Chain A
Amino acid sequence: MSSAMDRGVSEVEPRRFRGLSARGAFIAVVAPAAAGVASIPLARNGPAAAIALFLLAIVIAAVAGGLWAGLLAAVLSSIALPFLYGAPRFRLRFDGTEEILTGLVFLTVALVVGILVGGAAEERARAGRREREARLLGHLSSRFVSGDVPDRVLDDFVRVLLEPFGLVSAEVLVEVDGTQMNARAEQPGLTPGGPDTVVPLVVGPVSFGTLRVERPAGRRPLGPHEQLLLEAASKQAAAALDRARLDARARLAQLDAETNQLRAAMFSSVTHDFRTPLASIKAGVTSLLDRSVEHEPDQERELLTTILEETDRLNRLVGNILDLARIRAGALIPTRHEAGLDEIAEVVVARLAPRLDDVAVVLDIDEIVPSVAVDEMQLDQVMTNLLENAARHSPVGGEVHLSIAAAKDRVEVRVCDSGPGVPDEERERIFEAFYRGESIPDSPGTGLGLAIANAIVTAHGGRIWVEETPGGGATFAFEIPVHVLQPPEREASA
């Protein structure tokens, strides 16, 4: 009874009435004896007080020592009472019906109290057992729905079983979709070699494998109730494996669908987006090369301007496609240097402003912008993409605001336009590759700019999102965490 092994769920079938323990016997003897001694000073007033004291002793013995202690106390009390109060005092005598009746009452009291106490003990044990079972199954089910890696779930599963079942070891061996997995846990300090039990891990018709548990050497095998509980736990484990398996399949299928969709979108986008500028360039150049026509200087200039613009467009497209390929290949690794987002913004605006002649770009930069560790080319790309996107969706003559603000541990960049804005339901999808807003199907972008911005910001440990510009329009914002902050030393003006 002393080992930790026998506590817990293994105490599943407590005998309803414990045998007479040494402690019980001791109480059964001492309690009536104490009652007898206590009653002596009251003896001249008749046996009533003594009877009450003996009854008390019997109840105490039954409660503290169990049924058998109660009965023993009752027998001892029946003998002691007439010995103390019988007509010739201090002499055993069993001839009176009175004594027999007293003895019977004592025995009945002991029996009733003992049975009640035994029942209560069993009820208590059962409640404790139910609580432990609930805790075990609850723990397992919470682990199993956590969506954790099956490997780790199995490790946890076998470890959790050890103590409640009093096991020296527990081991699962399963196969999920062709992948074999096993997990084993052992309780140190116990001798293996005891009785073992094997439970299958089954969900409906699908069998994943087996669970084998072993009790320490010399211990009794698991009882039927424990076996049932173990099976319930194994069912949960099997269900979790099944769920993980289906999840993985669903994810694969989804990935597959996305890849196909992306490939199709890329194909149509690349063909269209590459051929359009190429067509303009070729048309312009062949026209200029054609000696049979005489071009006016104005016409020539216009053709050349078109060629230049289309070349730039192609160049941007190639850059975007390259970036996207890097993202897909997991090769978009920033080469980080200490840099100022304010400087990058200024350069981007200086470069873009002449090209974005339909909108005015307003730059708003905090007095002090802490340095961030970034890949300047990539951040240049992010701001370029966001500004171009904002300009594309702005009304002619509108304003695009680019603001840079320092917060405690990050720098936030916001690009606000006064265009039609982004509907709530598109705010997540808008950062996907080749996604063009459904509300503006003919948007001239490549559908890559925001996806690339998203990938770059994420690769820098930052966050990008879109919200509504107060007063209408879309605000694309991103933040980059600040790693090093070195305030330059102050010096006085000469």
Chain B
Amino acid sequence: MTRVLVVDDEPQIRRALRTSLEAHGYEVATVGTGEEGVVGAAEQAPDLVLLDLGLPDIDGTEVIRRVRAFSEVPVIVLSVREAQSDKVAALDAGADDYVTKPFGMEELLARARAAMRRKQPDASTEPLLRFDGLEVDLPKRLVTLDGDQVKLTPTEYGLLEALVTNPGKLLTHQWLLRKVWGQGYGTETTYLRTYVRTLRKKLGDDAQAPALIVTEPGVGYRWVAETTA
């Protein structure tokens, strides 16, 4: 059974999450402080952590940092709309994704599933990734759309590779820039924006109803397509 650790200081939220998650077949443990959260992540070895950023004792970002010292467990951050920079800090500290309070359970469960899928072995080691008509052959660095080869520049391919090998994870601007362009980069979001735009166009993705790449303004991008057999 999939175990979920909920770290939130609001009893109402804990209760609502426990009820809904148990109804979906998860095994749920809840704690109210950051310290308990770190301990819980170590002792219970959960498959997923849902972490509120506004905890009474230690900062949520600090909790992620401590958990990341011993575990690669998927962490989804729960945060209010206003705390935009906290979200980016949490993602840079190692969180996988975030949902904004108040959130719908449907959305939370979708993010949770995506984050846990990524953690399954061989999810990203598969050499040929197929998303409906789109195929990415990682060893050959070849991309085809409905059988036709898509001509990508090396940077465009690097960007696509970074996205498809981290499905469901919200990749921050800084992370993507360093990964694709190199360590010296981190603030040149205009580059990134332009390349994402071109990539979307070449892959036939619609920014207004994205099936492949979802934009989180001011934060980053997320690959949302699921692999198909």
Contact = CB atoms under 8 A, between A and B. Distances in A.
Given A491-B155, A494-B157, A377 B218 contact: yes
A363 B208 CA distance: 9
A492 B153 contact: yes
Contacts of B153: 491-494
Looking at B84, B85, B188, B216, the one whose CB has the most chain A CB atoms below 10 A away is B84
Nearest to A371: B190
Interface string B196-212: 01000000000111100
A494 B140 CA distance: 13
Interface in B163-220: 187-191, 193-195, 197, 207-210, 215-218
Interface residues of B, number: 29
A370 to B, nearest CB: 8
B199 to A, nearest CB: 12
Interface stretch (A99-107, A242-250, A346-354): A346-354
Contacts, number: 80
B81 A319 contact: yes
Contacts of B157: 494
A486 B215 contact: no
B82 interface: yes
Contacts of B25: none
A49 B98 CA distance: 116
A368 B191 CA distance: 12
Contacts of A371: 189-190, 193
Contacts of B102: 311, 315
Interface string A293-320: 0000000000000001001000100010
Interface stretch (A53-61, A269-277, A331-339): A331-339
Contacts of A347: 207, 215-217
A415 to B, nearest CB: 15
A315 B102 CA distance: 8
Contacts of A377: 81-82, 84, 217-218
B187 A494 contact: no
A346 B82 contact: no
A343 B215 contact: yes
B218 A337 contact: yes
A399 to B, nearest CB: 15
A340 B154 contact: no
A344 B197 CA distance: 13
A376 B189 CA distance: 13
Nearest to A372: B190
A492 B156 CA distance: 11
Interface in A5-40: none
A441 interface: no
A16 to B, nearest CB: 80
B152 A493 contact: yes
A133 interface: no
B191 A349 contact: no
Nearest to B152: A494
Interface in B51-100: 81-82, 84-85
30 contacts: A319-B81, A322-B82, A335-B85, A337-B218, A338-B187, A339-B189, A339-B218, A340-B190, A342-B197, A343-B217, A346-B207, A347-B215, A350-B210, A353-B208, A353-B209, A371-B189, A371-B190, A371-B193, A377-B82, A377-B217, A486-B190, A486-B191, A488-B190, A488-B194, A491-B153, A491-B155, A493-B151, A493-B152, A493-B153, A494-B151
Given A319-B81, A338-B190, A346-B215, 16 more contacts: A337-B218, A339-B193, A340-B189, A343-B193, A344-B217, A347-B207, A347-B216, A350-B209, A371-B190, A377-B218, A488-B195, A491-B153, A491-B154, A491-B155, A493-B151, A494-B153
Interface of A: 308, 311, 315, 319, 322, 335, 337-340, 342-344, 346-347, 349-350, 353, 363, 368, 370-371, 375-377, 379-380, 486-488, 491-494
Which A-B residue pairs are the 4 nearest by beta carbons? Answer: A376-B218, A346-B207, A376-B217, A371-B190
Interface of B: 81-82, 84-85, 102, 104, 151-155, 157, 187-191, 193-195, 197, 207-210, 215-218
